[in-house]
């Protein structure tokens, strides 16, 4: 991995001032690498999952990439590759969700304090606002349609009762006239 190569390059540097101060310093770097190896492996796995997710646009693969990076950071919070990968995976996952219209999912994945997420966060919030506006309009229209239907029903019932009453009155007057 890149970290192990960096340790080896430092150990083999031609300029003595760029090398480890002593064998103990080299051993410390190698020991730290070994301690962080699992975290680095998980971060690498996260990168592979993210590549697969970008190709397939499958939510599950994005979720696996995010989880791999998060687990990597649980093991070693200083893992820069995992930090960057998590930020990129969440942004890519949110972008995929946004494209599919899953605005709440997209918003939940974005880090609103991260500049690299800011543009998408603005687009997601604008889309959520438009969606809420449409829902309010639909609710108002639904209420208006129900109101018109209720008025129409009252008018029809009233007309039916009035016509029936007039018919009965006409029948009674005809009976009186015939008698």
Both tokens of 78, joined, read: 């200083």
pLDDT reading at 156 higher than 90: yes
Phi, psi of 100 (to 5 degrees): -90, -5
Among 89, 75, 76, 4, CA closest to 46: 89
Instruction: State phi, psi for 3 to the nearest 5 degrees.
Output: -70, -40
Q: What does the pLDDT look like over 27-48, one tens digit per residue?
A: 998 888 888 889 989 999 999 9
**How confident is the model over 99-112, as pLDDT tens digits?**
999 999 999 999 98
pLDDT at 154: 96
pLDDT at 142 > cutoff 80: yes
């Amino acid at each position: 991995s890149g970290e192990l190569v960096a340790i080896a390059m430092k150990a083999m540097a031609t300029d003595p001032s760029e090398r480890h101060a002593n064998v103990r310093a080299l051993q410390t770097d190698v020991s730290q690498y070994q301690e962080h190896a699992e975290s680095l492996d998980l971060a690498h796995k996260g990168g592979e999952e993210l590549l697969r997710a970008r190709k397939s646009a499958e939510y599950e693969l994005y979720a696996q990439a995010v989880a791999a990076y998060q687990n990597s950071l649980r093991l070693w919070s200083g893992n820069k590759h995992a930090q960057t990968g998590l930020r990129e995976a969440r942004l890519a996952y949110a972008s995929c969700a946004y494209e599919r219209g899953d605005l709440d999912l997209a918003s939940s994945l974005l880090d609103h304090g991260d500049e690299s997420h800011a543009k998408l966060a603005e687009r997601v919030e604008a889309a959520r606002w438009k969606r809420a506006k449409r829902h309010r309009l639909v609710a108002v229209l639904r209420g208006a349609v129900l109101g018109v239907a209720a008025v129409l029903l009252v008018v029809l019932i009233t007309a039916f009762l009035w016509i029936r009453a007039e018919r009965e009155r006409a029948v009674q007057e005809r009976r009186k006239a015939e008698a």
